[in-house]
Amino acid sequence: MSPPRVAVIGGGVAACSLAHGLRDSLASRAVSLHVFEMGRASGGRAATRGTRDDPGLRVDHGVPAFAALTPEFGALCESLVAADVLRRCDGDGSAFGVLRSSGTFEAEDAAGAPTRYRPPVGKGMNALCDGLLGGESTLANFTPGTMVTKVEPVAAQWRLTSKGGVDLGTFDWLVVSSTGLAHPRWRTTFGGEPPLVEAAAALGDTALDATLAALAPLQSKPVTAAMLAYGSDAAAAWASLPFFKAQVEADPVLSRIVVQRVSQSLTAVVLHSTHEFARSAAHVYGATSTAARIAGAKSDAGEEGRILDAMLVAAEKRLGGLLGPAAAMRSPAWGPHLHRWGAAFPDAPLLPEGRAVVPSARVAFCGDFVEGGEGRGGSVEGAALSGLRLAKALQREIGGLCGAD
């Protein structure tokens, strides 16, 4: 008898944490897990951007580092440090702080700072999700570059179809780790009804209807990211800045600046917008973004240039006293490229934990948009804990699963 098949939509931190939580069950073939991700690789908002022009370039354009506040997540992160998947941001030059309106940088008080993690030297943040999946020895099936646009209830199973009309198979359980498939935002981004909402109307499951109704009011705070990379003398000039990640004080355009030394001759820079600025450019996704490249979301090239220029102007004003002419801000070796995180930070009301698993419909939800009681919604930690909780819940719901650590 074949094991129960679980399909997961989205390959971010929550989905990969779910796979990690089910690793013993996967090893014993008590369950089969298949993750479908729209991007080129795992990670979601914790993905690493690369380019064919320079295989050595890595840009963590969503999550450059993250904090661990709970014992459970801290223990998981320490296990990943031991496996060379992560490193601690302590004493490694990972300075955090605030870029004041005066143009000066004020480092945070290290004594009161949370424990943070980032990728090891030579790796990008996608190492986190790759590590959670198990690396080369992963037992989960992972299919990148695939946008699921149709889910159908068929004889107590779920049939999935891709944007290109490809039948992706039938599954016993459907896990949604990214809200788009089930949220009204799908209508404005891609057009038409959200696939799971459309399927639920045909299914007539009152518990699923209640969960979708609870999810619908969820709001998200968007962020627009401008990505650049600098070589030679400019790389050294940017790397000489006194911070790795700086919050930008009282700026209408920029919320934070991240500087990542990729190698001795290459430095990546990511400018993150404020939520308000991103909302003013809601129709621009970035020509090279996954939403535009895979899903067909429209992006106006003229508007994209205007947005990038506004972000660069803001960076020039704030960094003018810290960067010399050698930084060549307007002459990057790569970029600038724009990427819109339309659902960067989920906002209240989050999906109640009690609504996250719907056994009658064999549908479940995990992600930083699920309220888990730790107060970590909207964070990498919240996403990971949600995936781990769901692993335990699925073990209870699907008979014969072995226990996870």
Residue pair 220/69 in contact by the 8 Å Cβ criterion: no
How far is 85 from 138, CA to CA, in rounded Å?
Answer: 14
The whole-number average pLDDT for the span 9-32 is 96
How far is 351 from 332, CA to CA, in rounded Å?
Answer: 42
Q: Are residues 235 and 201 in the same domain?
A: no
DSSP character string of 322-369: T--GGG-TTS-SEEEEEEEEEEEEEESSPEEGGGSEETTTTEEE-STT
DSSP state of 373: S
For residue 348, what pLDDT band results from cuts at 50, 70 and 90? confident
Domain end among 328, 345, 362: 345
Lowest pLDDT segment from 53-67, 196-210, 296-310: 296-310
pLDDT in tens, 382-400: 999 999 999 999 999 987 4
Q: Are residues 140 and 18 in the same domain?
A: yes
Compute the residue count for the chain.
405
For residue 287, what pLDDT band results from cuts at 50, 70 and 90? low
403 belongs to a structural domain: no
190 belongs to a structural domain: yes
User: Which runs of E-coded beta strand occur in 190-284?
Assistant: 219-231, 245-248, 254-263, 266-273
pLDDT given at position 295: 55
How far is 344 from 332, CA to CA, in rounded Å?
Answer: 26
Judged against a pLDDT cut of 50, whether residue 286 lies above it is answered with yes
How far is 251 from 314, CA to CA, in rounded Å?
Answer: 8
How far is 185 from 144, CA to CA, in rounded Å?
Answer: 22
For residue 213, what pLDDT band results from cuts at 50, 70 and 90? very high
How far is 307 from 83, CA to CA, in rounded Å?
Answer: 40
Q: Are residues 204 and 314 in the same domain?
A: no
Q: Are residues 160 and 306 in the same domain?
A: no
The whole-number average pLDDT for the span 4-28 is 97
Q: Are residues 237 and 102 in the same domain?
A: yes
Q: Are residues 277 and 150 in the same domain?
A: no
Give the percent of the chain with pLDDT over 90. 84
pLDDT given at position 46: 96
How far is 104 from 99, CA to CA, in rounded Å?
Answer: 6
118 belongs to a structural domain: no
Domain end among 307, 328, 345: 345
Number of separate helices (H) and strands (E) present in the chain: 12, 21
Judged against a pLDDT cut of 70, whether residue 172 lies above it is answered with yes
| Pairing mode of beta strands 66-68, 115-118 | antiparallel
Q: Are residues 194 and 302 in the same domain?
A: no
CATH of the domain at 109: 3.90.660
Neighbours of 194 (CB within 10 A): 23
Q: Are residues 99 and 241 in the same domain?
A: yes
Q: Are residues 146 and 246 in the same domain?
A: no
The whole-number average pLDDT for the span 30-51 is 95
Q: Are residues 243 and 337 in the same domain?
A: yes
Residue pair 207/360 in contact by the 8 Å Cβ criterion: yes
Q: Are residues 322 and 261 in the same domain?
A: yes
CATH of the domain at 195: 3.50.50.60
Judged against a pLDDT cut of 70, whether residue 269 lies above it is answered with yes
Judged against a pLDDT cut of 60, whether residue 296 lies above it is answered with no
How far is 77 from 230, CA to CA, in rounded Å?
Answer: 31
The whole-number average pLDDT for the span 303-309 is 94
CA nearest 380: which of 76, 109, 147, 23? Answer: 76
Q: Are residues 190 and 299 in the same domain?
A: no
| Average of per-residue pLDDT values in the chain | 93
pLDDT in tens, 68-83: 999 999 999 999 999 9
How far is 8 from 16, CA to CA, in rounded Å?
Answer: 10
As given in the structure block, the two tokens for residue 338 are: 């724009």
Q: How many whole angstroms from its chain centre is CA 272?
A: 14
Q: Which of the two residues, 362 and 136, has the higher pLDDT score?
A: 362
Q: How many domains does the chain have?
A: 2
Amino acid at residue number 62: G
Whole-structure pTM over 0.85, yes or no?
A: yes
Judged against a pLDDT cut of 50, whether residue 178 lies above it is answered with yes
The whole-number average pLDDT for the span 160-170 is 97
Beta-bridge partner residues of 117:
66, 88
53 belongs to a structural domain: no
122 belongs to a structural domain: no
316 belongs to a structural domain: yes
Domain end among 330, 345, 360: 345
CA nearest 87: which of 115, 51, 56? Answer: 115
The whole-number average pLDDT for the span 99-114 is 94
Q: Please name the residue that has the structure tokens 């690793």.
A: 23
353 belongs to a structural domain: yes
285 belongs to a structural domain: yes
Give the alpha-carbon dihedral of 231, 254, 368, 404, to 10 degrees. Answer: 30
Range of the domain at 152: 5-47+130-217+349-397
